[in-house]
């Protein structure tokens, strides 16, 4: 019996959505220098003010985005059950470069919400490192290390809470894998292709004030929800390009994520088992059920975000984001061609730093 295989790239995209709202998008990185800005000595703390995002429909924001990412991976077993079928045994890749992203604002579906269309690409990134002990060449970078162009839409409210967000890959993949589409909301305000800035409090704040939020994201039936704790503090004020801003430090902590898609795959296969299946066919399916496995685990992760927030204009002028993630894949699924069970394992560490600098703000 054959089943449709799931690509490793899709699985990594799922993990990226879970870890990184950074996402990013899919996307992930270690330390790059902050973008150059015009800054001066810290200014005196302002009176308490209400912080909110002022996002007028028709407005556009252009950000210079610095990427510094590393991916270290080891794999064992047979990757032929994965659609691309080519996975290095060992890989250590560094990805660096500077690009630009555009955020275009339109009215959201509900009063007080905004639709943000985020676009950008990674054509100027540079790759370095080794694959199976050999120096890497850009033309040989595996799909799982590629960074695809960003073209996403997120809907946020005036406090920066992400109401929803979809992209073509995430929508197709997460729908196929069983209703995990909400994972991209797990840690608002981080990742190269995400809305820039933390969730803001409802009331007025000044320097030294803190606020927190806890988000629970349901996953597969029978699995614990993913819990994300977001803690922010207005740590001071500064100037960026001569504009007085609040400096907001945000730490996002996400609980360990563990799930096994084997049961879902089994259900998919059972849907093709005919009603008049023989006892032998049913016994074969029972034996497969005991061995089928598509387990993914992600250690508890912590991401740090610093935002230079223009409280007068109502948007971020600069931001720096960093995170790390450790994930493990343990797979034992039928080969698409032969139907025979094949085992594959992979362990991956991803680290990233992403920096943002506003270069243009105006109306379309």
pLDDT in tens, 178-202: 322 223 333 333 356 788 999 999 8
C-alpha neighbours within 13 Å on the C-beta side of residue 276: 0
The predicted pLDDT at position 278 comes to 85
The predicted pLDDT at position 92 comes to 93
Per residue in 314-333, pLDDT (tens digit) is 999 999 999 999 999 898 88
The larger pLDDT score, comparing residue 22 to residue 349, is at 349
Whether residue 78 has pLDDT greater than 70: yes
What confidence category does residue 7 fall into, taking pLDDT thresholds of 50, 70 and 90?
very low
Whether residue 279 has pLDDT greater than 90: no
Mean pLDDT estimate for the chain: 77
Mean pLDDT value of segment 37-44 = 43
pTM: 0.75
Mean pLDDT value of segment 275-283 = 82
Reported in sequence order, the residue ranges of the chain that DSSP labels E, i.e. its strands, are: 49-50, 59-77, 90-107, 113-120, 126-131, 134-135, 150-157, 162-166, 204-205, 210-217, 226-240, 243-254, 257-260, 293-298, 301-310, 315-334, 341-363
Whether residue 169 has pLDDT greater than 70: no
The mean-pLDDT minimum among 137-146, 190-199, 256-265, 354-363 falls in 137-146
The predicted pLDDT at position 237 comes to 93
Q: Tokens 């105006």 — which residue?
A: 362
Whether residue 38 has pLDDT greater than 70: no
The larger pLDDT score, comparing residue 4 to residue 236, is at 236
What confidence category does residue 139 fall into, taking pLDDT thresholds of 50, 70 and 90?
low
Per DSSP, helices labelled H in 149-239 are 168-176
The predicted pLDDT at position 246 comes to 94
The predicted pLDDT at position 9 comes to 39
Per residue in 211-230, pLDDT (tens digit) is 999 888 877 677 778 889 99
Quote the tokens at residue 294.
Answer: 């598509």
The predicted pLDDT at position 270 comes to 77
Mean pLDDT value of segment 349-359 = 93
Mean pLDDT value of segment 349-360 = 93
Whether the CA torsion 136, 137, 139, 145 is positive or negative: it is positive
Tell me what percent of the residues of the chain surpass a pLDDT of 90.
Answer: 38
Quote the tokens at residue 9.
Answer: 């790239």
Whether residue 359 has pLDDT greater than 90: yes
The predicted pLDDT at position 81 comes to 59
């Amino acid at each position: 019996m054959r089943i449709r295989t799931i690509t490793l790239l899709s699985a990594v995209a799922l993990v990226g959505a879970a870890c990184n709202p950074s996402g990013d998008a899919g996307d992930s990185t270690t330390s790059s220098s902050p973008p150059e800005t015009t800054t001066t000595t810290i200014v005196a703390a302002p009176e308490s003010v209400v912080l909110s995002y002022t996002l007028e429909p028709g407005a556009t924001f252009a950000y210079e985005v610095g990427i510094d990412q590393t991916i270290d991976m080891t794999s064992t077993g047979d990757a032929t059950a994965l659609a691309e079928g080519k996975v290095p045994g060992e890989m250590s890749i560094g990805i660096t470069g500077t690009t630009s992203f555009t955020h275009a604002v339109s009215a959201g579906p509900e009063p007080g919400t905004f639709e943000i269309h985020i676009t950008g690409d990674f054509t100027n990134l540079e790759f370095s490192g080794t694959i199976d002990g050999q120096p890497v060449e850009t033309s040989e970078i595996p799909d799982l290390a590629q960074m695809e162009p960003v073209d996403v839409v997120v809907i946020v409210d005036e406090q920066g809470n992400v109401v929803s967000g979809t992209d073509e890959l995430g929508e197709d993949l997460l729908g196929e894998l069983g209703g995990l589409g909400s994972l991209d909301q797990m840690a608002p305000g981080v990742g190269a292709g995400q809305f820039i800035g933390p969730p803001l409090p409802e009331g007025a704040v000044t320097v030294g004030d803190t606020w927190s939020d806890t988000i629970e994201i349901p996953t597969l039936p029978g699995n614990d929800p993913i819990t994300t704790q977001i803690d922010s503090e207005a740590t001071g004020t500064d100037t960026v390009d001569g504009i007085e801003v609040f400096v907001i430090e945000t730490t996002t902590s996400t609980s360990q994520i563990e799930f096994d898609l084997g049961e879902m795959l089994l259900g998919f296969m059972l849907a093709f088992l005919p009603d008049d299946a023989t006892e032998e066919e049913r016994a074969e399916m029972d034996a497969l059920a005991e061995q089928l496995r598509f387990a993914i685990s992600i250690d508890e992760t912590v991401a740090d975000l610093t935002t230079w927030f223009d409280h007068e204009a109502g948007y971020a002028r600069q931001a720096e984001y960093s995170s790390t993630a450790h994930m493990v894949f343990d797979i034992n699924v039928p080969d698409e061609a032969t139907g025979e069970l094949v085992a594959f394992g992979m362990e991956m560490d991803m680290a990233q730093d992403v920096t943002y600098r506003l270069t243009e703000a105006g109306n379309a």
